[in-house]
Amino acid sequence: MSGSRLPDYLDHMQQAASDACGFVEGLAKHDFLQDKRTQQAIVMSLIIIGEAATKVMDSYAEFAQAHLEVPWRSMRGMRNRIAHGYFDINLDVVWDTVQTALPELLKLLPAARQDAEDESPNDDGMAP
């Protein structure tokens, strides 16, 4: 019963992106820059997205190549910058990411997720 984890990784990305967008809903940039709790929540969401993107790139390289519209490398890169340079996080970049890149990602993920589901074998190992 070792099915593909690909749909799970895409679900994690979708949930984290949705969460991050929800965290700033109705929030002005100035307020975001003053709100450490929201900043940290979004940064954690970006780490989750980047981790999941890395898993897709490493374990499902063909899928990632087939879905180049999804910015896999950018998500991994942001995760790495956050994880390895925590005290140097540029909150303007984080704000711009949650305002523009994540809504765009949320538009792209459903089709990629459907393709992943179509490619994944059922629990019995048989393709659908």
Burial class (CB in 10 A: 0-12, 13-18, 19+), 34: exposed
Measured CA angle at 21 (ends 60, 40), to 5 deg: 90
pLDDT score of 121: 58
**The three-state (H, E, C) secondary structure of 27-39, written as one string:** CCHHHHHHCHHHH
Mean of all residue pLDDT scores within the chain: 90
The amino acid at residue 105 is: L
What's the chain's length in residues? 128
What per-residue confidence (pLDDT) applies to 128? Answer: 40
79 is an active site residue: yes
Alpha helices for the chain (secondary structure H): 6-23, 29-34, 36-59, 61-66, 72-84, 91-96, 102-119
What is the rounded distance in angstroms from the CA atom of residue 82 to the CA atom of residue 98? 14
Confidence of residue 95 (pLDDT cuts 50, 70, 90): very high
What value does the mean pLDDT take over residues 15-28?
98
Active-site entry in 12, 79, 81, 113: 79
Is residue 88 pLDDT above 90, yes or no?
Answer: no
Q: Which of 5, 73, 84, 113 is catalytic?
A: 84
Q: For 34-73, what is each residue's pLDDT tens digit?
A: 999 999 999 999 999 999 999 999 999 999 999 999 999 9
Q: Quickly state the pLDDT bin for 117 (edges 50, 70, 90).
A: confident
Is there a catalytic annotation at residue 84? Answer: yes
Reported confidence tier of residue 84, pLDDT bands at 50, 70, 90:
confident
Q: How far is CA 44 from the centre of its chain?
A: 11
pLDDT band at 120 (very low <50, low <70, confident <90, very high): low
CA distance 8 to 44: 18
